Chain A
Amino acid sequence: MPYLGSEDVVKELKKALCNPHIQADRLRYRNVIQRVIRMPGVQEYIQQPILNGLRDKASYVRRVAVLGCAKMHNLHGDSEVDGALVNELYSLLRDQDPIVVVNCLRSLEEILKQEGGVVINKPIAHHLLNRMSKLDQWGQAEVLNFLLRYQPRSEEELFDILNLLDSFLKSSSPGVVMGATKLFLILAKKFPHVQTDVLVRVKGPLLAACSSESRELCFAALCHVRQILHSLPGHFSSHYKKFFCSYSEPHYIKLQKVEVLCELVNDENVQQVLEELRGYCTDVSADFSQAAIFAIGGIARTYTDQCVQILTELLGLRQEHITTVVVQTFRDLVWLCPQCTEAVCQALPGCEENIQDSEGKQALIWLLGVHGERIPNAPYVLEDFVENVKSETFPAVKMELLTALLRLFLSRPAECQDMLGRLLYYCIEEEKDMAVRDRGLFYYRLLLVGIDEVKRILCSPKSDPSLGLLEDPAERPVNSWASDFNTLVPVYGRARWATISKCQGAKQHGPELPNTASFATSGSLIPEENKETIQELPDSGALMLVPNLQLTAEYFEKTWLSLKVAHQQVLPWQGAVHADTLQMALQVVNIQTIAMSRAGARPWKAYLSAQDDTGCLFLTELLLEPENSEIQISVKQNEARTETLNSFISVLETVIGTIGDIKS
């Protein structure tokens, strides 16, 4: 590793830091300070030079000195925050040099990390806004990011800020444009028309980025386009041609574009989009052609007839990788759009020759079993599968075959009886896989009970379009993803981000990261599932809260008054509180409610308590101010341990976030 920890380097650096000549020579001084990263044993040498550097005349010295403060703080580990230094940095926000200003923000952010980062109050926010035009693009992007945490006091101020920032929506740097967009979306969270308008404005830059020469930028932009489409499905419909794939593009971009095409389809462009997608289906890359077929399947939920026709034509190509995906698409489609059953049943005969993989076989067998009475040759196709069952390698296919054959037996007993007997015999006597054997035995015994019982159990509904809603959540409001805009969340995709942040949370109990994900997953689900997600959370961290903690109100009050606030935080909240829902949700994660104001009281308060398995007590006060749309949490702890505190807070945040989400 370069200059980290090596004895000589440390010695050399110490010498350099003590040398008055070096301190006098600005350029050399600067180079020395720049080099300090994490080195043991230089703390005491570094302080004075850095403090001198903050007041230096040369701006490039102040730049490194300001960041040097953050380095110094991190070198000391968990030391106390030096109030004088922080004040000095706050006053340096007025520095003439724009880079010093931005570095001050970064440095304060690191030093005050434990307290929630640098505070942006009204004078600072306005000062930064006025300096924006002096900064370079990196500084602008960074300041826009810091401004996110400022909340204007009045509507007038809010719109003044928006007007001032308007020009940055036209910046030539995509980073600045997206940063400004995010700030607009967040500041205008109560003005949906402004949000929509901003998204219209940013359409041009986003589309330009989507066809940018840099593939990576193009990818990031496509991911954000998809994010916007979730809320405004028609937003990019007239620009559908921009999302046509070109031959030379890498795979990951093509896949994103196909997804976008699938989402922006409407009455006007459906014909062109489907034609384009059909072209992709015969692409040399099997992955890509399968993705295109699945996309057609997705569109088929709205435009069934046209899509089924295209899919049927694809079967005529007799290509294995195409046929298997088409059949899988048919399976899902028949389930969600029962009106296409007839067309699918007509298309199916002949497919079996071109399917080799497990997924495709399962889909085909399921279709033959459930809709077998409409497919003339269904028993004979299944018979082929029964003949070859010995050489079948996938247990899942055998299970599917058993069920399908039994179902078909119910509707066409004469043709199926013989081979059902053979299949059951094979499964029970010769099969090695226990699950298959058990399934066979189960069906055998079921048949012994009588045919009515079999019918009762196996003839479940053949289709249920309402289940499509589960897969396809309704339009999300812009506010649900505004805070994720211009971050890595859309680029990873929400699902992957959830797993990433979860394992991150398990590692370091990061208080910030996990809850964005849990907002995401729990937001659109029904309450029962919500509680499951919440329940998982405490397990994932090291924090274990003890169930059924008994704490008297007197004891709570005594402890509460004797402790200091360990953590304080504000969460968004809208409307009144439903005491019962909140209490129940908290109960699920083993947080007890000690006392609550009555409903509608202003300000509304609640006191909560919890204890973890090591005996550490968490006492919490929830405060809902009537005029603010936020809830303030103050947590006290009888043993000062930041780790468990952070995980406790993240649990609490999740609960409150979830309840808030359900209501809004």
Chain B
Amino acid sequence: MSDGRRWGCREGIAGRGGAGAGFPAVGAGAGGGGSLLKGQPTRILLFRGRRAGQAPLSPPSCLLSRTAMISQFFILSSKGDPLIYKDFRGDSGGRDVAELFYRKLTGLPGDESPVVMHHDDRHFIHIRHSGLYLVATTSENVSPFSLLELLSRLATLLGDYCGSLSEGTISRNVALVYELLDEVLDYGYVQTTSTEMLRNFIQTEPVVSKPFSLFDLSSVGLFGAETQQSKVAPSSAASRPVLSSRTDQSQKNEVFLDVVERLSVLIASNGSLLKVDVQGEIRLKSFLPSGSEIRIGLTEEFCVGKSELRGYGPGIRVDEVSFHSSVHLDEFESHRILRLQPAQGELTVMRYQLSDDLPSPLPFRLFPSVQWDRGSGRLQVYLKLRCDLPPKSQALNVRLHLPLPRGVVSLSQELSSPEQKAELGEGALRWDLPRVQGGSQLSGLFQMDVPGPPGPPSQGPSTSAPPLGLGPASLSFELPRHTCSGLQVRFLRLTFRPCGNANPHKWVRHLSHSDAYVIRI
């Protein structure tokens, strides 16, 4: 992991290799206050220096990027109702700013992005999360990455404390939310976002809509994973506020570990694979008391980069990995073990990407055949869907979305099994398959009428070229207990300081879901 690259002036190109070459310590008396005191700029010195007109005190102003300071923060419901409004600086126009934001957002022309908007020397930066708008305003030219990250972190934090993030939970926990905001931001500056530090100051108890029960734990439920099928995630087990432990001692020791992969695939019309991209994350939600150490063992064959080889087989290869800063990697090189002491709440332990080279076959193959009679306007689409998962696995909530030419009026269908459903909507065909077993094959025959101006006589009726607007087909699905990269969590061990409680519950789940699975027709 340590490609300690040195930056140097004499090498021409910055030299590579030399792993772990110690960095020269900047400021020899590191940490010691003595060296600092010597150069402490006293005010008098400062002014004298300027009068003499020597010291270049202020840098060119174009470099002066301002601090990441936000003026206001508010949360709007999807309909634009302000749920939370907080002014940190008192330098701005008050609550109607929220309304102004929503009006601007809805009235935006199509070619402009809504992420940052500008009005009266104030920038609005927002994210959408679970149907809510989390908006920050600032007058400075801030770093968009930091601010967007802060907003996402706030969303996670509110989710941690309120159980889950939704219009209902926010409006039930207004006091708690304001208290949290007070702690996270002071005068518009981020203080801390660690759940652990915040716990010391948060007094308000979260209001949960219904009592939590372990029996709700559905087999595929995930916290936080924003899959297209919101009815599956999140399960109520993990969407429990971190603070409820104060009242509810019995369920204290639980930890959830999820390996979630998002799959984006593009397949050409001749069946060749154009693009495969897997974005994976290992997420941890811990309700353990702080200080307990977790060891996560990953598949031993896991290797990073194209060159590394491990084990006997082809290995589980990913292109890039990044870890959360609290993860200790001393056993990663040798045994693929991640060690960390998580704070309560949600945490992304590891992120990885893999592209182009998938160890396992793609989960789905689609074999379309299209017959198109321009003269009569009759369009016949035959779709055969093959699931290439291992026979024991299955895919859930499979939905095929096929855009159709304009003006399709009628649809007649022949489906291979009764639980499937197909319907027309918004100029597209939607084919729902609630459950597809690995190795199985399903098919559907769809016939449609496309009225419209008949083609120019010169071209004549052609059956080869599909009509305009047909395809590409896109699939969405979830694959529980399956990771496309093949990465698995071997074990999850807790070095738990006994506080008189029962054994902790550990939940490890794997899931892949589609981000964009597109098949050209």
Contact = CB atoms under 8 A, between A and B. Distances in A.
Nearest to A219: B115
Contact of A94 (B33, B60, B89, B275): B33
Contact of B518 (A122, A137, A246, A515): A246
Contact of B24 (A117, A163, A172): A163
A515 B266 CA distance: 44
A511 B60 CA distance: 11
A515 B63 CA distance: 11
A124 B36 contact: yes
Nearest to B64: A512
Interface stretch (A83-91, A418-426, A465-473): A83-91
A136 B192 contact: yes
A643 to B, nearest CB: 15
Given A141-B143, A175-B143, A246 B191 contact: no
Contacts of B226: 213
A156 B6 CA distance: 12
Contact of A138 (B43, B61, B150, B516): B150
B58 interface: yes
Interface string A193-211: 1100100010011011101
Contacts of B126: 216
Most buried by B among A109, A175, A191, A630: A175
B403 interface: yes
B53 interface: yes
Interface string B459-472: 00000000011001
Interface stretch (A323-331, A380-388, A485-493, A538-546): A485-493
Interface string A151-187: 1000111111111101000111111011100000010
Interface in B368-408: 401, 403
Given A163-B7, A197-B13, A487 B143 contact: yes
Interface string B350-370: 010101100000000000000
Contact of B468 (A138, A155, A319): A319
Contacts of B323: 172
Interface stretch (A364-372, A434-442, A548-556, A563-571): A563-571
B127 interface: yes
A337 B468 CA distance: 29
A194 B143 CA distance: 23
A565 B149 contact: no
Contact of A193 (B14, B143, B152): B14
B171 interface: no
A4 B95 CA distance: 12
B141 to A, nearest CB: 5
Contacts of A186: 63
Nearest to B30: A130
Given A1-B94, A149-B59, A122 B146 contact: no
Interface in B455-486: 468-469, 472, 474, 476
A301 interface: no
Interface in B211-252: 226, 228
A252 B114 contact: yes
A487 B63 contact: no
A242 B266 CA distance: 11
A129 B27 contact: yes
B143 A126 contact: no
B500 interface: no
A1 B515 CA distance: 42
Interface string B1-14: 00011111100111
A403 to B, nearest CB: 30
A316 B24 CA distance: 66
A489 B189 contact: no
Given A115-B58, A179-B143, A570-B60, A217 B148 contact: yes
Contacts of A568: 50, 53, 57-58
A40 to B, nearest CB: 11
Contacts of A156: 9
A24 to B, nearest CB: 18
A242 B277 contact: yes
A284 interface: yes
Nearest to B265: A246
A115 B50 CA distance: 11
B495 interface: no
Nearest to A204: B320
A159 B62 contact: no
Given A155-B9, A211-B277, A489-B141, A106 B189 contact: yes
Given A121-B41, A174-B149, A247-B401, A127 B36 contact: yes
Nearest to B191: A99
Interface of B: 4-9, 12-14, 23-27, 30-31, 33, 35-44, 46, 50-51, 53, 56-69, 86-91, 94-95, 110-116, 118, 120-121, 123, 125-128, 141-152, 182, 186-187, 189-194, 201, 226, 228, 262, 264, 266, 274-275, 277, 279, 320, 322-325, 348, 351, 353, 355-356, 401, 403, 427-428, 453, 468-469, 472, 474, 476, 515-516, 518, 520
14 contacts: A4-B90, A37-B88, A70-B187, A93-B36, A157-B26, A164-B24, A164-B26, A241-B266, A242-B355, A247-B472, A248-B516, A291-B111, A630-B56, A634-B53
10 closest residue pairs by CB, A with B: A246-B516, A116-B58, A123-B39, A126-B27, A175-B146, A252-B113, A38-B90, A37-B90, A162-B7, A138-B190
